[in-house]
């Protein structure tokens, strides 16, 4: 078990966005979080790297352990947490600098300035997202010259460059066409061999295709958490069945 959440409650002022969530996430699996808009799935994802800290008047109770360490403990190193738990967003957010510098950005922040080492990291990270061969002659070009799919791959390579353990993906394909979506999904299936992935998606078929375990959320509650096979062939809760069969949501 890499992440363990117990009795998690999260409030935005008086509004309770997460209600008594209990969840265990296993290593080297893809965990999908599905549910209708506003159910709290993105809020839950942002708990894992404390992105919610950036929002005013957020109150969190309960415990969130990564590798048995409480990430909300005052002594927990937040910078290390963000390195260890990388995040991919809905729209690719490549920096308006070269492709090389995008990937080298994180390692440089972490004090790696040796050129040979940086080249090695950049090449390895781009290769891991199946991007290196197609852009190896264009590493000095602006990252913004790449297609949306390649920019999203680049953003994932940028995370891998600092050797994280967990990848959080918040609707990573919502800005991509179906072909590009298929390619990113294939990439996720490759990456799970080395990383633990948590994906939030409103596209439940995407969760069905790539996830190993799936949680269904509704109105801030984790209604059901099960293997993808169980969720999509015989869900335990009627509300899960109602949602995945399109009867509501």
Partner 1 sequence: MDRHFDEELQKVKKDLLEMISLVEEAITKSLEALKKQDIKMASEIQEIDHQIDKFEIAIEEQCIELIARHQPVGADLRFLIGVIKMNNDLERMGDHAVNIASYVAYLIEQPRIKPVSNIWSMAREVKEMLNDSVKSFMDNDAARAQKVCERDSVVDEMRDETIRILLTYMLEEPETIGSAIPLLLVAKNLERIADLSTNICEDVIYIAQARVIKHHAEERELGSY
Q: How many CB atoms lie under 10 A from the CB of residue 139?
A: 19
Q: Which stretch binds partner 1 (CB under 8 A): 10-18, 98-106, 108-116, 179-187?
A: 179-187
- For partner 1, give the closer residue by CB, 70 or 186: 186
Does the footprint of partner 1 cover residue 249 (CB under 8 A)? no
CA distance 215 to 30: 11
DSSP code of 159?
H
Give the one residue of 186, 238, 245, 247 binding partner 1; rule: CB under 8 A.
186
| 3 state DSSP class of 12 | strand
| DSSP-assigned states of every residue in 38-82 | TSSHHHHHHHTTTGGGGSTTEEEEEEEEETTEETTSTTS-HHHHH
Identify whether the C-beta of residue 143 lies closer than 8 Å to the C-beta of residue 99: yes
Give me the 20-39 binding string for partner 1, x by CB under 8 A, dash otherwise. --------------------
160 token code pair: 């891998």
Does residue 183 belong to the site contacting partner 1 (CB under 8 A)?
A: yes
Q: Looking at beta carbons only, is 104 or 187 nearer to partner 1?
A: 187
| The binder of partner 1 chosen from 51, 127, 148, 208 (CB under 8 A) | 208
Q: Which stretch binds partner 1 (CB under 8 A): 30-38, 72-80, 143-151, 229-237?
A: 229-237
Which residues from 72-131 bind partner 1, rule CB under 8 A?
130
Give the chain's end-to-end CA distance (angstroms, integer): 31
Site residues (CB under 8 A) for partner 1? 130, 182-183, 186-187, 189-190, 205, 208-209, 228-229, 232-233
């Amino acid at each position: 078990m890499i992440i363990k959440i117990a009795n998690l409650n999260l409030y935005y002022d008086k509004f309770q966005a997460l209600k008594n969530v209990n969840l265990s996430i296993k290593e080297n699996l893809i965990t999908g979080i599905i549910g209708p808009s506003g159910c709290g799935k993105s809020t839950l994802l942002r708990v894992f790297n404390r992105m919610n800290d950036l929002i005013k008047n957020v109150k969190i109770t309960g415990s969130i352990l990564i590798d048995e360490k409480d990430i909300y403990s005052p002594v927990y190193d937040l910078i290390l947490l963000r390195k260890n738990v990388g995040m991919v967003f809905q729209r690719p957010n490549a920096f308006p600098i070269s492709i090389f510098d995008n990937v080298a950005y994180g390692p440089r922040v972490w004090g790696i300035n040796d050129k040979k080492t940086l080249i090695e990291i950049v090449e390895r990270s781009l290769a891991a997202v199946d991007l290196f061969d197609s852009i190896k002659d264009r590493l000095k070009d602006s990252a913004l010259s790449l297609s949306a799919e390649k920019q999203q791959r680049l953003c994932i390579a940028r995370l891998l460059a600092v050797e994280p353990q967990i990848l959080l993906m918040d609707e990573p394909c919502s800005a991509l066409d179906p072909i590009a979506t298929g390619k990113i999904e294939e990439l996720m299936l490759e990456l799970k061999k080395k990383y633990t992935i948590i994906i939030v998606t409103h596209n439940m078929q995407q969760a069905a295709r790539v996830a190993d375990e799936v949680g269904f959320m509704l109105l801030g509650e984790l209604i059901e958490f099960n293997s993808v096979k169980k969720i999509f062939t015989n869900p335990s809760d009627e509300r899960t069945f109602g949602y995945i069969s399109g009867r509501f949501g």
